Structure 1
Amino acid sequence: MKRSHKFTGIAGLLTAVALLGAPEAAAADHSVKTNDADPGGVAYFTEHGDVVKVCDIEADGWAVGVDVYWNGGSYTLKAGGNGNCKSTDANTHDIPENAYVNFRIYLYKSGTAYAYQDTAQWYNDH
């Protein structure tokens, strides 16, 4: 009986850890961070559903933006404040299938734009 209880506790803990960590990690196909020493922003791209999410990940007074562009279209997402995120999907911005999609992530604040930028390009096959 005691042995069974211990197994249930460990299994329950492992299940809880898996459920807490899995959604974010499993959902995004790609990610890119700002190019500062301690990155202040991150953008995620999930091909199925054309989900783009940008997050401010540091309390540094800077906001984060990501420009998303492909042949024939573009848009920008911005988020400010540590822990805040913005996202969009195919319902708002339909990215064509079988196309290269470009991302430019950067930090900005009053008087300064496109600081610590980095770029990435991924092929959207979904």
Structure 2
Amino acid sequence: MRFGYVLIRVALAALVGLGLVAALQAPVQADGPHPRSTGRVGTAVAAESWDEQMHTDDSDPGGRVRFRADGDVAEVCDVEADGWAVDFQVFFDAPMQDFVIYEYQIGGSGRCQVLRASLGSPYDLAENQIYGFRICLTRSGGELRYCDYAYWRA
């Protein structure tokens, strides 16, 4: 009787082991490319889900921002290996001045950062409000250059 019990335990352990090996070898389904393969930072968001997109105004745009109002998702990317970093701002356009709600900088060709409402304040924008979005290039925290801006509804 004891021999049968041991045999069953060994068989179960072997089956569990085979299942674990199979699970580890199975391909992983993801929302996008593996973050380490592209230099991306943050969570990838499906390309077809963007409401708006904008690039820096240099001759070969080095920066890109894409925005989706549902979830206030902004993806900021440095797309060129040119020594410039991308500066991204979301602002409220008030009479005679802009009030910056948040600003983010990222550098390094191919690096992106996803900012979203689920990160909390200041990324959670008021619904149905129009905000200003600005994307620029900068070197070593210097002057902002090649800026483009737009007004989008969150």
Give the TM-score taking structure 2 as reference length.
0.62
Kindly state the Cα deviation for residue 111 of structure 1 after the two structures are TM-superposed.
6.1
Q: Could you list the per-position Cα deviations for residues 85-118 of structure 1 after superposition, in whole angstroms to 9, with x for gaps in the alignment?
A: 1121112211111110111100001263211001
Q: Which amino acid aligns with 2:79?
A: I
Residue aligning to 2:89: 67
* Counterpart pick for 2:56 among 30, 34, 41: 34
Alignment check: 8 A CA contact 1:56 1:63 kept = yes
Residue aligning to 1:4: none
Structure 2: tracts of 5 or more residues without a match: 1-31, 34-44, 94-98
Classify 1:46/1:111 alpha carbon distance in 2 versus 1 (closer, same or farther; 3 Å). Answer: closer
Kindly state the Cα deviation for residue 24 of structure 1 after the two structures are TM-superposed.
3.8
Judging by fraction of residues, say which structure has more strand.
Answer: 1
Percent of aligned positions with the same letter in both sequences?
Answer: 40
Alignment check: 8 A CA contact 2:89 2:100 kept = no
Residue aligning to 1:89: 116
Q: Comparing 81-90 with 108-117, which one deviates more in the overlay?
A: 108-117
Instruction: Say whether residues 1:99 and 2:99 are aligned partners.
Output: no
* SS of the residue 2:132 aligns to: strand
CA RMSD of aligned residues (A): 2.0
* SS of the residue 2:48 aligns to: helix
Divergent runs of 4+, >6 A: none
1:73, 1:95 → 2: CA distance? 12
Structure 1: tracts of 5 or more residues without a match: 1-18
* Counterpart pick for 1:110 among 140, 144, 147: 140
Q: Comparing 103-112 with 33-42, which one deviates more in the overlay?
A: 103-112
Kindly state the Cα deviation for residue 120 of structure 1 after the two structures are TM-superposed.
0.7
Alignment check: 8 A CA contact 1:54 1:86 kept = yes
1:121, 1:70 → 2: CA distance? 9
User: Aligned residue pairs: how many?
Assistant: 104
Give the TM-score taking structure 1 as reference length.
0.74
Q: Comparing 29-38 with 69-78, which one deviates more in the overlay?
A: 69-78
